[in-house]
Structure 1
């Protein structure tokens, strides 16, 4: 016996034991983003003394196939019976990733509101809607909004709250960033940055995040820089890890150089690095080398 439950299927198999299964309709959507359900399920005999069996509440159960929820009922049931499923919540993840959210009206309304607000914020930047501050990069300018910048960065907030030159002239000079990197920085602040743009400018974004105290951007850059360490960039990343206090990146670079033996593959570059590197970094490298030698 099968019943369609809002694109969910209820299957009943009756042999010596009655098995009740709940699973989603098979589709590309449910295959890649299976629903996460919270529900109560009951079996009620419709004749006689109306025996009622209730399964304990299921919370945040991922339903991907017909084996994910199986309820075996050994109590004999005679005649007709009714199976009731009361969904307490049903969550799905968006196709572009992110945390699963409820499909109920409250969750959908909040999600739609957030998406619309973020799109509008990005439009304010891209179309220069009522901008009130001019950002001067090294080779160009961008119009922005004091309130948005102050909400995202305590440094900008302090800058606009005191009698500083930027407050008087309605400009902020960021001469250490190109216009492309500066645009990526403000795209991130306004929630409108693209992944390729982020990857292209992540070192400049790291510098800006540290300078303007935007911790979430700094952490995003930190995590991204961990993903593709190689012989061409390891020394630069080690220097940045020390400069911006990124412990995981520093440890990963040290491990790549010492434990993986890559120091020997970039001997000339490493010797040049030692000539200008911070003394603290050099000390840490040699401590790592000595520790590695003790392991042999």
Structure 2
């Protein structure tokens, strides 16, 4: 495929017309039209609908534009950085981050990054689902305990752990009676067993979900009110435990919580992605739950 023709196609698609692209870049309109026609011929596809005044992408043209625009930008930025002898971050940086991390830390992180790198247009989308980085044009994703994926590379930048906490006003239940609980998401059929570790060793409690909420921040707030026990990340409740607003019942058994940064291995690691990874490292040099708790409260 002719990369020059592909670049001209992206130029026309971005400006939504041959004339607009020509005026914006000083390139001859006839040259842009010829290169796009050559690309269409080589692919045996029609990339633009040319009827009337408006120039619209066909379905195939839109798919090609979405797949190649970010790649060409990366190549251009890399070439410019090498030519100038530096790697100054610039351009658009799209990040997908999970809900809890976004609610507690991402606003502060994003603001600090924007002040440090004003030539980067940072866009953060909050969602817990596993996004398709290439299809949805994300440069970087932050995920909790992601499934292995051979097409992605990354690193752990934060570790956390789950604990069982409750308000000190929550009264102990009679032996064998379920303890009221606040849970995230749909509750299972009550009662259920929560296994945990205390100073005395391994133990378990029988709980009955009384309240189901969609956010762990909401779960914490409800636990503070004394509705029931809750399983929450220690970073989210460490200050409540220190102040006595919540009390620790035990550590939840199971794997640790690991927050990963991930990016496609087949793409160049751009200067802006590298800069954000460095920004995370500066914010959380040790990657401990205490660092996250202190960062949020600072």
* The two structures share one fold, judged by TM-score above 0.5: no
TM-score by length of 2: 0.23
Q: Normalized per residue, which structure has more strand?
A: 2
TM-score by length of 1: 0.23
Q: Normalized per residue, which structure has more helix?
A: 1
Query: Which structure's CA Rg is the greater one?
Result: 1
